[in-house]
Amino acid sequence: MSLDSMTQDFDKAVNDLFDPVATWLSELVFYAVPVAGAELPLIVVWLVVAGLVFTVWFGVIQFRKFKLALQVVRGKHDDNDSPGEVNHFQALTAAVSGTVGLGNIAGVGVAVSIGGAGATFWMILCGLLGMATKFVEVTLGVKYREEHADGTVSGGPMHYLPKGLAERFGRNGKIFGSVLAGLASVMILFFGLFGGNLFQINQSYAQLSSTTGGEDSWLGSSAGALFFGVLIAALVGIVLIGGIKSIASVTSRLVPAMAIMYVLACLTVILWNVDQIPSAFADIFQGAFAPEGVAGGIIGALIIGFQRAAFSNEAGLGSAPIAHSAVKTKHPASEGLVGLLEPFIDTVIVCTMTALTIVIAKPASFTNAGEEVEGVTVTSDAFETVLPWFPNLLTVAVLLFAFSTVLTWGYYGLKAWSYLFGKSRTSETIFKIIYSVFAVAGSLLSLESLISMADAVLFMLAVFNIIGLYLLVPVVKRELNSFVAHVRGERTGTAKDTSEGSQAGTLS
């Protein structure tokens, strides 16, 4: 039996095993209700409402404290003797690498193709609301992180849910928080292995193979796929062994580089069609409130925009606080402010640039809104109107996006694994080996049903995590007041260590 036939048989067996479970879980998690002729997934409502509540609670913090957030990420308010492993900028790039990825390239193409140009407006709005949610969960991630004897730290929902709820509600809170933390860890671990790893490798290999001759080339063969998988697995394993410092070192270079490269490509198309910019913005705003040809009209465009933004920036899912928790700081809210920049970069900048490129270029595949097309196709076609060689550049972008995402989710998965099975060198080594082996399989398998289930599991995190965020939001407000007071003290020369949840200062 040939390697190709063995791979196909194994692929079919896995799909047959997981397809019924994936279908049931997806229907449960992404349960939708009909609204004005469109289907509204309730999980999207859950995420968007949380962003709205936290935006109001903190007085539109994403705008009021945006300048302060930029100052923090530049290191203006750093403390040299702070506990942690990486600086604010490295923590941000490590977290962004887990959200900026294929969804920004393919997912946005789907959004504007189905929801029309107007979906872009709602996508931006959802990203802005998500900034407030991200601030809350990242602040909690740093506040309740666990510092280990070797100098490393662990954070995320598996830590702030049991610790924070125990602090606020005593024994019952600890029990409830522990249950939520255990469930959250399982979800993070599962998605890390299959969605954050296997899916990324699979899609990056598919793009690389298609631009090098497809099945007719050596890379398109089973041997080529195996070589690609082993190569990526080796690179992932080497970086993972170094821990978050090694990951942050790589992502702090990769993320800015790939983001700049991608945005420059977008700007090239936009400036090439500079005379179309006014009409493109007109299409976006008109399409947001008076869409033509979009199922469900305004509601349909709104749902598609909110859905793609919520799925892209992961605000409220509890994943990003794991990376942010490794930051060097004595003030949890300082990193919370850095965290709110994440949806801004991911959704407001990268997703919007992609959407604007498509709307301006109007490639052949972007015909009538409401007709579902392959997301990456319409995005690639938009660039190809100006850059005929763009598929090659897109391949590089996809590889960089995928590799950085695999690294970040490897770190997330490791922290979830350590919480469930204990933190020891042996335990962590076992996980790193398993995770690296999965990277090899990613280039060989096409497990669509398994990926659907992994996505559903990821968004189940939102249910467990946001419950905890609502209950712990008073803690976040105290931490913000504390950091604001500290910053004011620096400016007046009277700064004191107010990092222990002091209520000094006022929320301005």
Give the model's pLDDT for residue 507.
35
Q: What is the pLDDT of residues 161-172, one digit of tens each?
A: 999 999 999 999
Structure tokens at 112: 């504007």
pLDDT of residue 141: 94
Q: What is the pLDDT of residue 44?
A: 83
Residues 216-249 pLDDT 10s: 666 656 666 777 777 777 777 777 777 666 776 7
Please determine, for residue 103, whether its predicted confidence score (pLDDT) is greater than 70.
no
Radius of gyration of the chain (CA): 22
447 conformational bin, left if phi > 0, alpha if psi -120 to 50, beta if neither: beta
- Closest C-alpha among 419, 421, 102, 118 to residue 298: 118
Higher-pLDDT residue of 321, 242: 321
How many whole angstroms separate alpha carbon 421 and alpha carbon 427? 7
CA–CA dist 105, 398 (Å, integer)? 8
Q: What is the pLDDT of residues 153-207, one digit of tens each?
A: 888 999 999 999 999 999 999 999 999 999 999 998 888 887 777 777 776 777 6
pLDDT at site 148: 79
Percent of the chain scoring above 90 in pLDDT = 21
Beta bridge partners of 38: 35
Amino acid at 282: A
Residue 425 pLDDT more than 80?
Answer: yes
From the centroid of its chain, how far is CA 396?
Answer: 20
The number of CA neighbours under 13 Å toward the Cβ of 189 is: 19
pLDDT score recorded for residue 184: 92
Helix (H, G, I), strand (E, B) or coil at 497: coil
User: What mean pLDDT comes out for the span 476-503?
Assistant: 74
> By CB neighbour count within 10 A (0-12 exposed, 13-18 middle, 19+ buried), where does 138 fall?
buried
- Give the model's pLDDT for residue 244: 63
* Domains of the chain and any CATH numbers: 30-76+85-486 (1.20.1740)
Is the per-residue pLDDT at 326 higher than 80? yes
At 35, which helix (H) or strand (E)? strand 32-35
| Most confident region among 281-285, 307-311, 361-365, 438-442 by mean pLDDT | 281-285
**Which of 99, 138, 150 is closest to 351 using CA atoms?**
99
Three-state DSSP string of 236-270? HHHHHHCHHHHHHHHHHHHHHHHHHHHHHHHHHHH
pLDDT of amino acid 340: 92
Express each pLDDT in 339-397 by its tens digit: 999 899 888 888 888 888 888 887 765 654 444 445 566 777 788 788 787 777 777 77
Residue 145: is its pLDDT beyond 50?
Answer: yes
Assess whether pLDDT exceeds 80 at residue 430. Answer: yes
**What is d(CA 310, CA 445) in angstroms, rounded to the nearest whole number?**
28
Query: At a CB cut-off of 8 Å and minimum separation 6, what does 216 contact?
Result: none
Three-point CA angle 172, 178, 184, nearest 5°: 140
Does residue 288 have a pLDDT over 60?
Answer: yes
The proportion of the chain whose per-residue pLDDT surpasses 70, expressed as a percent, equals: 77
Cα separation, 506 vs 283, whole angstroms: 42
Cα–Cα distances in Å, from 324 out to 109, 179, 188, 204?
Answer: 29, 23, 16, 26
Q: What is the pLDDT of residue 449?
A: 63
Range with the poorest average pLDDT among 33-37, 80-84, 454-458, 474-478? 80-84
Q: Which residues does residue 41 pair with via DSSP β-bridges, in sequence order? A: 32
DSSP helix/strand/coil, 185? helix
- Quote the pTM value: 0.82
User: Residue 102: its pLDDT value, please?
Assistant: 62
Identify the pLDDT of residue 27.
Answer: 83
Q: Return the higher-pLDDT residue of 430 and 303.
A: 430
Top pLDDT among 319 and 469 is at: 469
pLDDT, average across residues 278-305? 77
Which among 260, 266, 255 is positioned nearest to 354, based on CA atoms?
Answer: 266
Calculate the average pLDDT of the chain.
79
Q: For residue 487, is pLDDT > 80?
A: yes
200 residue type, one letter:
Q
DSSP codes joined into one string, 376-426: HHHHHHHHHTT-TTHHHHHHHHHHHHHHHHHHHHHHHHHHHHHHHH---HH
Report how far Cα 188 is from the mean position of its chain's Cα atoms: 12
Q: What is the mean pLDDT of residues 58-70?
A: 94
Closest-CA residue to 373 (of 383, 363, 387)? 363
Q: Please tell me the predicted confidence (pLDDT) of residue 346.
A: 84
